[in-house]
Amino acid sequence: MNKVIKILSFSDVILLTGLGFIAPVFAIFLTENIKGGSIKVVGFAAAIYWIVQSLVMVPIGWYLDKHQGEKDDLWCIIIGNLLGAVAIFGYIFSRLPWHIYILQAIYGLGIGMNLPGYTAIFTRHIDKNKEAFEWSLRSSIIGLGSGIAGALGGIIVYNFGFNFLFVGAGIFILLSALILLLITKEMKSNSLTP
């Protein structure tokens, strides 16, 4: 594997492991810790995330394709991950459903920025004749990390509470953004430069 694929994969593993800590217990957090929290709030929170993510991905992908080079793709991933971290840290201060809805929109925007840039760079840098292996290795490691994180997330909440979990997950997500700075020199400025 080349450096770009290794760093992208490692960043994604860290990001999705951080999110994996939260996923299994998020509905419990909403129903037990948010004033007026209910199954309905859980559903709206999920809907807001998915709708925002879906609405921003195509325009961002279009923009990235129109602008030659990879630096903007990389910065889209970094900024997207940072927005994800903002949302996770924001859960600590949330008390009402509308707080969660705003944070879910920020989270959806962040992941909606991450995905077009990530897939574009990964696609351009994947090693020839190793496409299936490198995509499957990335997916397998992410699945393992998310699975382990899900179990640990429940243990962490049980022993230390939600705030401790959100701080830990937020740190993971920040790290997923910062590690990408290691490949800024490998990013092409435009289509004419190697």
The Cα–Cα gap between 29 and 155 comes to 14
Given a cut of 50, whether residue 193 has pLDDT beyond it is no
> Which secondary structure element, helix H or strand E, spans residue 125, and what is its range?
helix 97-125
Q: Is 80 part of any domain? A: yes
Q: Indicate whether 56 belongs to any domain.
A: yes
Q: How many residues does the chain have?
A: 194
d(CA 194, CA 184): 13
**In this structure, is residue 1 part of a structural domain?**
no
Integer CA distances (angstroms), 163 to 29, 63, 88, 153, 190, in order: 10, 37, 10, 11, 43
Local confidence band at 14 (pLDDT 50, 70, 90 cut-offs): very high
CATH number of the domain enclosing 118: 1.20.1250.20
- Nearest residue to 188 (alpha-carbon basis) of 83, 92, 50, 74: 74
The burial of 183, by beta-carbon neighbours within 10 Å (0-12 exposed, 13-18 middle, 19 or more buried), is given as buried
The whole-number average pLDDT for the span 7-28 is 92
pLDDT of residue 137: 87
Domain membership of residue 154 (yes or no) is yes
The pLDDT of residue 192 is above 60:
no
Q: According to the model, what pLDDT value does residue 50 have?
A: 97
> 């709030």: which residue's tokens?
41
- Which residue has 């008390």 as its token pair? 95
Indicate whether 100 belongs to any domain.
yes
Q: Say what the pLDDT of residue 190 is.
A: 54
pLDDT at 189 over 70: no
Q: Note down the domain range covering 149.
A: 24-183
162, part of any domain: yes
Query: What are 57-106's pLDDT values in tens digits?
Result: 999 999 999 988 899 999 999 999 999 999 999 999 999 999 999 999 99
In a domain, 129, yes or no: yes
Residue 58 lies in a domain: yes
The single residue listed with the structure tokens 């490198």 is 134
If one counts the domains in the chain, the total is 1
